[in-house]
Amino acid sequence: MKYSPIADEHGFYGDFGGAFIPEMLRKNVEELKNAFLYYSSEPEFIAEFKALLADYVGRPTPLYYSKNLSEKLQAGIYLKREDLNHTGAHKVNNTIGQILLAKRMGKKRIIAETGAGQHGVATATVCALMGLECIVYMGAIDIERQKPNVGRMKMLGAEVRAAESGSKTLKDATNEAIRDWLANVDDTFYIIGSVVGPDPYPEMVAYFQSVISDEIKKQLLEKTGKENPDMVVACVGGGSNAAGAFYHFIDSDVQLIAAEAAGRGVDSGQSAATSVLGTIGVIHGSQTLLMQTKDGQIVEPYSISAGLDYPGIGPMHAHLIHSKRVQSIAITDNEALSAGLSFSRLEGIIPALETSHAIAALERLDIQGKTVVLNLSGRGDKDLSTYLKHL
Ligand SMILES: *Cc1c(COP(=O)(O)O)cnc(C)c1O
């Protein structure tokens, strides 16, 4: 593993990215960037990262040839089993990387924001592992909606703080986390959960997640004699599992597909299809596509899947979609639910609702005869009650 940048030196991917932050944070963000640039190529850091991924997280995750789905769709479909990671999704790859960096930087206190609670759980997990204080900001409404994950975070020793402002959801939790960081810049490390936020976060999170496509290449070579598939498909909220699955294929002719949440339909007013509905603006410290009104107020996104319910999209994806390197497909709640149900019965694997958006995208694509890798970003235990309501 060696880091080679995708963004330019200021963290821009074409028109998107950068670091739009208060002056008071500039020194810390620069300190973080320097630490990342140094440690991302340092052998001891990488050895520790890889050892934890192997024995704590359970990597490499299998690349499973999905015989039943392949027969049904007449293609060669491989599932990258990120659902088998410790804590049940890809998010822990990133929190392991960032906690190791926080330790190297001598930080004593970890903060994070979470929507559905998945990133909060992954952060609380690595804080317990490393014995660091953990504070997770979460919208008051999300705390009500996501009780099991709030319980997990508490069990792991994290403090969950409610964001009571605005719509009391993810963007308000993020504002609270940034406020905390501003007040505690010296001893606090902010672990961001997707390829969003100011430079260097998108680069850093993509790099830690790039282990996914690194493994795909090796596993596919072993199984098929070729390291590149014809197509890679992943769901996109902020875009971290997709960034990891696309990473080592960006400079190739492999077709890259991003499945976004259309919610009740792209034109329904209840959607999270950012690449279609978004316009350029600044959110969470970077310039990217986001859902906003004409005067720049953020439009509340909607998706049945809490992990895709985000008003922006990472700047790397904004650029890749804008430049047509990545094709985005908007999948409705109903399409995702029905794909998740039939996939469970076909393969004996219950996918996260986020992942079901990627599975549903397969039906919309021309994949006959192609070798396709589907990134199975997480397991669906957390979504059972939602699935069952629609059975
Ligand atoms: C959080 C989450 C996502 C969405 O986040 P990305 O950063 O876009 O990957 C997708 N799938 C699962 C299982 C998640 O927990």
* CA nearest ligand 1 atom 14, residue: 307
Is residue 1 pLDDT above 90, yes or no?
no
Instruction: Quote the pLDDT of residue 145.
Output: 82
Closest ligand 1 atom to Cα of 379: 13
**Strands, E, within the chain: which ranges?**
12-13, 16-17, 63-65, 76-81, 109-114, 133-139, 159-163, 188-190, 231-235, 255-263, 279-283, 286-290, 326-332, 371-376
Q: What percent of the chain has pLDDT over 90?
A: 92
Q: 88 CB less than 6 Å from ligand 1?
A: no
| Residue 293 CA, ligand 1 centroid: distance in Å | 26
Q: 192 CB less than 6 Å from ligand 1?
A: no
| Residue 352 CA, ligand 1 centroid: distance in Å | 9
Q: 241 CB less than 6 Å from ligand 1?
A: yes
Closest ligand 1 atom to Cα of 355: 11
pLDDT per residue over 227-236, tens digit each?
A: 999 999 999 9
* CA nearest ligand 1 atom 10, residue: 354
pLDDT per residue over 165-201, tens digit each?
A: 988 888 889 999 999 999 999 999 999 999 999 999 9
Contact by Cβ (8 Å): 83, 348: no
pLDDT per residue over 94-141, tens digit each?
A: 999 999 999 999 999 999 999 889 999 999 999 999 999 999 999 999
Q: 215 CB less than 6 Å from ligand 1?
A: no
Instruction: Quote the pLDDT of residue 325.
Output: 98
Other Cβ atoms less than 10 A from the Cβ of 58: the count is 14
Closest ligand 1 atom to Cα of 239: 8
| Residue 263 CA, ligand 1 centroid: distance in Å | 16
* CA nearest ligand 1 atom 7, residue: 240
| Residue 196 CA, ligand 1 centroid: distance in Å | 12
Pocket test for ligand 1, best of 236, 313, 377 (most atoms within 8 A of CB): 377
Question: Residue 331: which of 307, 358, 309 has the closest Cα?
Answer: 358
Q: 355 CB less than 6 Å from ligand 1?
A: yes
Domains along the chain with CATH numbers: 12-53+91-205 (3.40.50.1100), 58-89+210-389 (3.40.50.1100)
Pocket test for ligand 1, best of 354, 355, 356 (most atoms within 8 A of CB): 354
Question: Distance between CA atoms of 201 and 108, rounded to whole angstroms?
Answer: 19
Is residue 2 pLDDT above 90, yes or no?
no
Q: 292 CB less than 6 Å from ligand 1?
A: no
Please give the average per-residue pLDDT across 236-241, as a whole number. 97
The catalytic residues are: 91, 113, 377
Closest ligand 1 atom to Cα of 352: 13
Instruction: Quote the pLDDT of residue 283.
Output: 93
Q: What is the DSSP string of 161-201?
A: EEE-STTSSHHHHHHHHHHHHHHTTTTEEE---SS-SSTTH
Q: What are phi and psi of 382, to 5 degrees?
A: -65, -20
β 16-17/12-13 pair status = antiparallel
* CA nearest ligand 1 atom 3, residue: 307
Q: 237 CB less than 6 Å from ligand 1?
A: yes
Instruction: Quote the pLDDT of residue 116.
Output: 87
pLDDT per residue over 6-16, tens digit each?
A: 999 999 999 99
Instruction: Quote the pLDDT of residue 167.
Output: 83
Cα 217–Cα 93–Cα 58 angle in degrees, nearest 5: 75
